[in-house]
Chains A and B, each alone.
Chain A
Amino acid sequence: MTTLLEVKGLYVHYGAVEAVRGIDLTINAGEIVAILGANGAGKSSTLNSIVGLVPPHKGEISFSGGNLFGLPTEIIVRHGITLTPEGRRVFGSLTTEENLLLGSFPLVDPGTYRDQNLQNMYDLFPILAERREQIAGTLSGGQQQMLAIARSLMSSPKLLLLDEPSLGLAPQIVDTIFEQIVDLRNSGITILLVEQNVAMSLQVADRGYIMASGTIVTEGSSDELSSSNIVEQAYLGHE
């Protein structure tokens, strides 16, 4: 098993607020790893600081052996790691296809792969092909989530960070999104998934970390985490 992402002693501050307080994470190639935890536990802060959207305060972040700590976001994504942010954040005034094309921006030689990747995305998410000329802000929530994920995949990442992909979606759409996450992993992409939907996440993930108040309170395989009541305790104990 090769380690893809290694985070050690990571701290994230917003002024006086300590959102993440010294966490360690290891993600191996080919895994789906979940980070679970209640509102405000520091999950998004963790993902955002890994990709440099929020400057990490202290700690180590290495990806495929190279340092990411302190690099600007636009350089970090060129290493083959990307984030689908919480709340989707598609470019609402651009069309579906324009959103996707922008996703291929970090590629070293975008011209060669852009069309191929675009076709792959349309195969993976046929609804996006139907809506390619539509202004993204007018897509439904589920379609926007698919667009947000597809846009991330356009850069051919090795590691995809997904922040609450099921947020605010209807149950059938949530099922579809989780099925697609498994498909992505089967196609060779490693996934770090942040979720509120504990049951579904543990079904698809290999392992999980439970966060509360900026620290990791428990980690383990999905089976261990689902068969014990640690998860509920983590949620209840810190609310």
Chain B
Amino acid sequence: MDSDLAVFIQQTVNAISLGGTYALLALGLAIIFSIMGMINFAHGELMTITGYTLMYCGLAGLPFYISAPLAMMVAVVSAVLMERIAFRPVRGGSPASMLVTSFAVAIILQTLFQNLISPRSKAVPLPDVFAHSIHFGELSIGINQILSISLTVVILVTLNWFLRKTILGMAMRAAAEDFSVARLMGVKANAVISGAFAISGALAGAAGVLWVAQRASVDPHMGFVPVLKAFIAAILGGLGSLTGAVAGGFALGFIEIYLAAYLPDHIQPFKEALALGLVILVLLFRPNGLIPAATVGREKV
């Protein structure tokens, strides 16, 4: 295998891995948006909570295969509590008031992390095997990446099964399409919304585990950038569309990684701007995103 091809394959694996993380995050944002018409900017803090849980579990000496699911569970519980405490009182309010509330939650949590844990980045102990790679000739693929891609696939397949094949999944899709009529079918508004937050928490938790597994550290603002990216990915894919969120997440992952790998050195400083420029270019041609939601503009809760 020549080395150009090896580099290309390696970058593609990186792109799938990063894109998968964006996809999980964007999916979490999209599920909440499709049901409540709200962008939850505190979604990133669920990732950060996952990171800190991994850190404490690591310090306590728990093995990663226990601390990772535990951290995801903490994210699920945090997401449900977040809705119950912060978002339920403003439900049905204007989109602006829900947006501001989610910013407030994000900032309050970041402040708590800074003051109760540490304003600085903390190391998260990871199993040694994460640093290993598998070699195929010139090609070397990190165990980390293989695990990340596998987890992403398992989660996407499970979520797809849940939404398509279970009556609760159908109820969530129905509520995303027409909340009032879903209630007319007897679907409980609070239960659907709690369920949506639980799922988004699980997705943020999984993304948090993957993010930390790549970096081995956590800081109070860890969630901010990836969630901003996920928000861009969700818009790129078509806001509120779940398939769109996944497509947008992977598209953004590919754009970022390929630009970083193949742009000439003197243009590298502009790669973020170029990536966003490409996103805007796509949106100029497809204003509702790659795979628009079926119900753009329909009234929400």
Interface residues in chain A, defined as those with a beta carbon under 8 Å from any beta carbon in chain B: 51, 53, 72-74, 77-78, 82-83, 85, 89, 91-94, 98, 101-103, 105-107, 110, 137, 151, 155
Report Cα–Cα, A90/B120, bound state, in Å. 52
Q: How far is the CB of A207 from chain B (nearest CB, A)?
A: 25
Inter-subunit contact A106/B174 (CB<8 Å)? no
Inter-subunit contact A91/B178 (CB<8 Å)? yes
A73, A102, A107: the one contacting B174 at CB < 8 Å is: A102
Task: Knowing A91-B174, A93-B173, A94-B173 are in contact, say whether A105-B187 is a contact too (CB < 8 A).
Answer: yes
A53, A92, A106: the one contacting B186 at CB < 8 Å is: A106
Chain A residues closer than 8 Å to B184, beta-carbon distance: 51, 53, 73, 77, 82-83, 85
Measured as residues with beta carbon below 8 angstroms from the partner, the interface class of chain B is: 10 to 19
Inter-subunit contact A91/B186 (CB<8 Å)? no
Q: How far is the CB of B30 from chain A (nearest CB, A)?
A: 14
Task: Knowing A74-B189, A105-B167 are in contact, say whether A85-B181 is a contact too (CB < 8 A).
Answer: yes
Task: Knowing A72-B189, A74-B183 are in contact, say whether A102-B178 is a contact too (CB < 8 A).
Answer: no
B127-170 interface bits toward A, Cβ cutoff 8 Å, 1 = contact, 0 = none? 00000000000000000000000000000000000000001001
Report Cα–Cα, A101/B168, bound state, in Å. 11
Q: How far is the CB of B92 from chain A (nearest CB, A)?
A: 11
Report Cα–Cα, A72/B183, bound state, in Å. 9
Report Cα–Cα, A151/B174, bound state, in Å. 13
Inter-subunit contact B186/A77 (CB<8 Å)? yes
Report Cα–Cα, A91/B185, bound state, in Å. 11
B177, B188, B189: the one contacting A91 at CB < 8 Å is: B177
Interface class of chain B by DSSP: helix
Residue B180 at the chain A interface, CB threshold 8 Å? yes
B170-201 contacts to A (CB < 8 Å): 170-171, 173-174, 177-178, 180-189
Report Cα–Cα, A77/B188, bound state, in Å. 11
Chain B's closest residue to A148 (CB) is B181
Chain A residues closer than 8 Å to B180, beta-carbon distance: 53, 73, 85
Report Cα–Cα, A72/B177, bound state, in Å. 19
Chain B residues closer than 8 Å to A105, beta-carbon distance: 167, 171, 185-187
Report Cα–Cα, A85/B181, bound state, in Å. 8
Report Cα–Cα, A74/B187, bound state, in Å. 6
Inter-subunit contact A53/B174 (CB<8 Å)? no
Report Cα–Cα, A53/B178, bound state, in Å. 12
Q: How far is the CB of B82 from chain A (nearest CB, A)?
A: 22
Report Cα–Cα, A98/B167, bound state, in Å. 8
B199-222 contacts to A (CB < 8 Å): none
Inter-subunit contact A101/B186 (CB<8 Å)? no
A93, A102, A137: the one contacting B185 at CB < 8 Å is: A102
A to B CB contacts below 8 Å, 18 in the list: A53-B183, A53-B184, A72-B183, A73-B180, A73-B184, A74-B189, A77-B184, A82-B184, A85-B184, A91-B174, A91-B177, A94-B173, A94-B177, A98-B170, A102-B170, A103-B185, A107-B186, A155-B186
Residue B294 at the chain A interface, CB threshold 8 Å? yes
Q: How far is the CB of B94 from chain A (nearest CB, A)?
A: 15
Task: Knowing A98-B170, A101-B167, A101-B170 are in contact, say whether A92-B177 is a contact too (CB < 8 A).
Answer: yes
Report Cα–Cα, A107/B187, bound state, in Å. 11
Inter-subunit contact B294/A137 (CB<8 Å)? yes
Of B177, B186, B188, most A-chain CB atoms within 10 Å: B186
Report Cα–Cα, A7/B243, bound state, in Å. 45
Report Cα–Cα, A82/B182, bound state, in Å. 12
Q: How far is the CB of A56 from chain B (nearest CB, A)?
A: 15
The 7 lowest CB-CB distance pairs between A and B, nearest first, are A106-B186, A105-B186, A73-B183, A93-B294, A102-B185, A91-B174, A105-B185
Seed contacts A53-B183, A73-B183; 15 additional CB < 8 Å A-B pairs:
A77-B184, A77-B186, A83-B184, A91-B174, A91-B178, A91-B182, A92-B294, A93-B173, A93-B294, A93-B295, A98-B170, A102-B182, A102-B185, A103-B185, A105-B185
Chain A's closest residue to B294 (CB) is A93
Q: How far is the CB of B173 from chain A (nearest CB, A)?
A: 6
Inter-subunit contact B186/A74 (CB<8 Å)? yes
Report Cα–Cα, A155/B185, bound state, in Å. 8
Chain A residues closer than 8 Å to B174, beta-carbon distance: 91, 94, 98, 102
Q: How far is the CB of A71 from chain B (nearest CB, A)?
A: 11
B167, B188, B295: the one contacting A74 at CB < 8 Å is: B188
Report Cα–Cα, A77/B185, bound state, in Å. 7
Q: How far is the CB of B270 from chain A (nearest CB, A)?
A: 40
Inter-subunit contact A106/B294 (CB<8 Å)? no
